[in-house]
Amino acid sequence: MTLGETKGIILFTKDYKEKDKLVKIFTESFGKLMFFVKGAHRKNNPIGSALLPFTEAVYIGDFREDGLSFLNGSKKVYPLRVIQEDIFVNAYATYILNLVDAAIEDRTYDPNLFYFVQQALRLLNDNKDAEIITNIFEIQLLSRFGITPEWRHCCVCQETRGKFDYSSKYSGVLCERHWHLDSHRYHADPRAVHFIRLFSTISYDKVQDINVKSETKTAIRQTIDELYDEYVGINLKSKKFIDQMKSWEDTLKLPKREKKDEERDTTIS
């Protein structure tokens, strides 16, 4: 048992009996932990606001190596309001958190991943392009699943320029001159592979605004889905929801949100 405090991000909460909760938090110092929170549903619970979905805070409690941990308090509570209130942004944030929960075991110390998740969520909360922020996260998270494709250059000749396609046979990209070496390569849109190669190394710190055509986004989505189907093999409800959401997103999109999208001058840097 360790008494102390740590930064944390709420992964999910689950009601336990009538007044209590089980809360899973991705902590900076201890990895993912499940906490028991007694009286969580009380209106005057001092840590109630720190237990809401899509919230960052400094959590104070007993952090245990086995079984449930216990929360005693919180401070520096930072609710991600846009994610909490916008169903579309919420969907992508939920998927990112579900991926994290699937990618590492509980109690795995991984402060770099914690920071990466924090950056992704804050960019979503700032109304940056949710699809692209999520794509970057998916590609860079592959390493946590033990998958490390070679994106930097052609696996055969180390070429870094031109058109590329992904090859499972070579566990990386092939330049156009060597496509003939793998008839079962993905036959992906070269534009999609171009952006995925960029996503594999880009830092969120360097992402300002992003502009990718809708048809290219679709091609990127198809290629990443193929990668995850082949190598990761997880079926998340949040991912299915995003796929379904695309069919009715335009119908339910709020007018204010449409205006923001139209006015945004987007580039990638």
Q: What are the pLDDT digits (tens) for 246-255? A: 777 666 554 5
Instruction: Indicate the pairing of strand 172-175 with strand 20-27.
Output: unpaired
Q: What is the CATH number of the domain that holds 218?
A: 1.20.1440.120
Look at residue 253 and tell me if it is in a domain: no
Which of these, 18, 81, 16, lies nearest to 53 by C-alpha position? 81
Contacts of 191 (CB under 8 A, 6+ apart): 216, 219
Domain that holds residue 99: 85-247
Taking the C-alpha atoms of 52, 141, 221 and 171 in order, what is their torsion angle to the nearest 10 degrees? -170
Residues 101, 142 within the same domain: yes
| CA pair distance 169, 173, nearest whole angstrom | 10
Q: What total of structural domains would you count in the chain? A: 2
How many C-beta neighbours within 10 Å does residue 224 have? 19
Q: Phi and psi dihedrals of 245, rounded to 5?
A: -60, -30
Residues 39, 156 within the same domain: no
Token pair 């710190």 in the structure block, residue: 205
pLDDT for 3: 84
pLDDT for 16: 86
Q: Which residues are bridge partners to 21 per DSSP? A: 15, 37
Residues 236, 113 within the same domain: yes
pTM: 0.90
pLDDT for 269: 42
pLDDT for 265: 36
Look at residue 269 and tell me if it is in a domain: no
Per residue in 29-61, pLDDT tens? 999 999 999 888 787 888 989 999 999 999 999
Look at residue 137 and tell me if it is in a domain: yes
Look at residue 221 and tell me if it is in a domain: yes
Residues 133, 222 within the same domain: yes
For the chain, residues with pLDDT lower than 50 are 254, 256-267, 269
For the CA atoms of the chain, what is the radius of gyration? 20
Instruction: Mark residue 53 as left, alpha or beta (left: phi above 0; alpha: psi -120 to 50; beta: remaining).
Output: beta
